Amino acid sequence: MKEMIALNQELAEKTGELEITVLNQWIREHHREKPLTYIIKTWGCQMNERDSEIMAGVVEECGYTRVDREEEADLIIYNTCLIRENAEMKVFGNLGQLKVLKRKNPKMRIALCGCMAQKEHIVAKLKKSYPHVDLVFGTHNIHELPALLLESYRDNRRQIHVLEDGVKTYQNLPSKRLYNFKGFVNIMFGCNNFCSYCVVPYTRGREQSRSKDEILAEVRGLAESGYQEITLLGQNVNSYGNDLESSVDFADLLEAIAVIEGIKRIRFMTSHPKDISRRLIDTMAKYPTICNQLHLPVQAGSNAILKKMNRKYTKESYIEMLNYAKASIPELTISTDLIVGFPGETEADFQETLAMVREAEYDFAFSYLYSPRAGTPAAIDPDQVPDDIKHHRFDRLMDTVNPIFLKKNQALIGRSQKVLVESVSKNDASILNGRTEGSKLIHFPGDSNLIGKIITVKVTKAQTFILFGEVE
């Protein structure tokens, strides 16, 4: 019995449950007059958004109440991203402004977590120039948040906890999901690929797949709570299961999820082109619950640049797989990521990217100017492309892809689409926002009681990035 108690205690400590209880008690004792409040700002990918949902659940369980403005918060958490220089600069800019708020409310706690916290030079900069930041914790330390807060309140000293790598222990933590009809489900963490421009393998560590049973249990729980749509998340979902003892792969997992009663839409992100299999595409084609949407980041259309990026596929193999997917899945919506101005990119290489986007005919694309990320091989490549050339190429890329997006959207005019209604428009309370099965944003007049439902909307008008319609 004693051993059981010790084991339970160890597990609870590992997942942060014990600290949640202790912090909750501490807050109730020390803040009787007014409940503590929090706000979380999130930059970057859906993995970060999901981490923020977990942190929101943890701090609410500790006794904090959510507010919408930093001025009203006793705890501000910045969940950061390192993928682009822009996001990093914004975080530092915003952190600087928090100094004023902290002066007004010295009991305020300011925390920085996420990928930026994983980099030594950033932590050094925070230590030196941002003394008002109280907590710094990494992507592997989320379960420690209550303990770090408690220490910070008790000692009034800055807490910095960043693990280089670690087992994700937060599966058992509470979470406060942003929506009650669509949700993210992590299926794996980390990345083994080391694309030469990317910091993720350094900030999120090596790949760790969650067990199939654990994932299925989470999805069943969401189905029972009335969720309509789930998005399976991983940096490279196609290598799901490689690190597990059982011989399950992503296609197996997807198939098992596709038959769970209640979930009407399944999406997933992100698929690495080097690992996507025909079996996965066949599985997508087989089950109507798996959305006819594929995000397949190509990054560049030149084999020389793909090699320098360490992407491990060629433009030919990419197009072959894309054509197989288009032929297998009717009405497939395809999207991609593109990087312009990667070190060594010549005009001829760039022309190959333009040829690629014309051939692929993407429905939409996330396009970026290459920005060097400290610690990655591409950042120290002497062959950097000058800024003016990068910008000029980016403009030409936009001139090429935008008409393609518009043409694809215009092809939907007059057609009926199944739409998950997500929100009311910020600018007009009579207009609703929703997503088609292919994940296209659509605006249409309607009542807010439709939010969370899947309805049929007829497309009446199309712009480059938005559809407009009428409820049928």
Give which of 460, 342, 443 is closest to 397, Cα–Cα: 342
Query: Looking at 31-39, 194-202, 285-293, 428-436, which segment touches ligand SF4 (CB under 6 A)?
Result: 194-202
* CB of residue 45 to ligand SF4, shortest distance in Å: 9
Q: In angstroms, rounded to a whole number, what is the distance separating the alpha carbons of residues 346 and 389?
A: 10
User: 343 and 381 in contact (C-beta within 8 Å)?
Assistant: yes
DSSP reduced 3-state for 220: helix
* CB of residue 272 to ligand SF4, shortest distance in Å: 5
Cβ atoms within 10 Å of 112's Cβ, excluding its own: 24
Stretch 48-77: interaction string toward ligand SF4, x if CB under 6 A: ------------------------------
Quick one: how far is CA 403 from the chain centroid?
27
Does position 200 interact with ligand SF4 (CB under 6 A)? The reply is yes
Does position 201 interact with ligand SF4 (CB under 6 A)? The reply is yes
Q: Which residue, 152 or 193, is less far from ligand SF4 as judged by CB?
A: 193
Instruction: Tell me 384's DSSP state.
Output: P
Does position 191 interact with ligand SF4 (CB under 6 A)? The reply is yes
Does position 272 interact with ligand SF4 (CB under 6 A)? The reply is yes
Does position 194 interact with ligand SF4 (CB under 6 A)? The reply is yes
Does position 335 interact with ligand SF4 (CB under 6 A)? The reply is no
Query: Looking at 149-157, 178-186, 190-198, 319-327, which segment touches ligand SF4 (CB under 6 A)?
Result: 190-198
Does position 271 interact with ligand SF4 (CB under 6 A)? The reply is no
Type of residue found at 300: A
* CB of residue 241 to ligand SF4, shortest distance in Å: 16
Query: Looking at 94-102, 188-196, 252-260, 404-412, which segment touches ligand SF4 (CB under 6 A)?
Result: 188-196
* CB of residue 190 to ligand SF4, shortest distance in Å: 9
Q: At what angle do helices 2-15 and 17-30 cross, to 10 degrees?
A: 70
Q: Which of 81, 116, 123, 195 binds ligand SF4 (CB under 6 A)?
A: 195
Query: Computed over its alpha carbons, how large is the radius of gyration of the chain?
Result: 23
Q: In angstroms, rounded to a whole number, what is the distance separating the alpha carbons of residues 98 and 174?
A: 28
65 φψ region: left (φ > 0), alpha (ψ -120 to 50), beta (else):
beta
Does position 432 interact with ligand SF4 (CB under 6 A)? The reply is no
Q: In angstroms, rounded to a whole number, what is the distance separating the alpha carbons of residues 61 and 18?
A: 11
Cα diameter, the chain = 71
Q: Write out the residues near ligand SF4 by the rule CB under 6 A.
A: 191, 193-195, 198, 200-201, 235-236, 272
